[in-house]
Amino acid sequence: MATKARSIQTKRPMARRAGAHAAKQLLKTYHQKRDFKTTAEPSGAEVVAAEGNSFVVQKHAASHLHYDFRLEMDGVLKSWAVAKGPSVDPAVKRLAIQVEDHPLAYGGFEGTIPKGQYGGGTVMVWDHGTWEPTEGDVHDAYRSGRLKFRLKGEKMKGLWALVRMKPRSGDRNSNWLLIKDKDDNARPGAPDKLLELDKSAKTKREMDEIAAGSDAWISKPAKKAAPKVSAKKKNRKPQPRRQASSHPN
């Protein structure tokens, strides 16, 4: 996981401790939605505060195919589900539904989330790299719902923007738009050009190869895990289960 290693190296110890606590708070919803005895997704137990600047896009064949766009900020991955994937045509804005913050380790996750689990389906690290804000203070920009940034990925490059739409009553998640800003990487008239590049940025595999694969990310055999689960469950307080969000997880 090159992305993770890169982001951990540059920390200042003090900031790391304070930030790690904040990052744990940000990951509450992430933990509530998942049973880590069953899914091989990272639990994010090793939370570190970050001044790293990784980004990742995970292609996720869940009940509905979508692309999860994630930007590292404050020790977590801020996350948006983009049903149609990123468009390289600046005139074509793509709806990006904000979902729960994910742990940094999630950026390296590729494999299959078991059926019946939250977000069950195959996940590909479709793109990864670094990002940098290009306008103003990044926290101000995020809060005000207008993030402008430059991506240095293998597929997504150059200037992009995430712009939050006005909330409507009844919205459970905030809706943003992912927009390609005009530059040499834009492809007017060919919004889905990037989506044709359909191999993992991490392992060069295609979706069906990941789905069929038996690498380390695939969930642990249920039989081995079973005794451990029952012993621990007895002492565990029942965890509140959130309703699944309306995004196509």
Contacts to Mn ion by CB under 5 A: 60, 68
| Distance from C-alpha of 26 to C-alpha of 179, rounded to nearest angstrom | 26
Residue number of the CB atom closest to Mn ion? 60
Burial environment of residue 247 by CB neighbours within 10 A (0 to 12, 13 to 18, 19 or more):
buried
Which C-beta is closer to Mn ion: that of 19 or that of 217? 217
Q: Is residue 175 a contact partner of residue 97, using CB atoms and an 8 Å limit?
A: yes
Which C-beta is closer to Mn ion: that of 99 or that of 147? 99
Which C-beta is closer to Mn ion: that of 106 or that of 160? 106
Q: Is residue 222 a contact partner of residue 15, using CB atoms and an 8 Å limit?
A: no
| Distance from C-alpha of 60 to C-alpha of 129, rounded to nearest angstrom | 18
Minimum CB–partner distance for residue 10 and Mn ion (Å): 28
Which C-beta is closer to Mn ion: that of 60 or that of 155? 60
AA letter at 112 = T
Q: What backbone torsions phi and psi does residue 137 show, to the nearest 5 degrees?
A: -75, 135
Minimum CB–partner distance for residue 48 and Mn ion (Å): 23
Minimum CB–partner distance for residue 120 and Mn ion (Å): 10
Minimum CB–partner distance for residue 249 and Mn ion (Å): 5
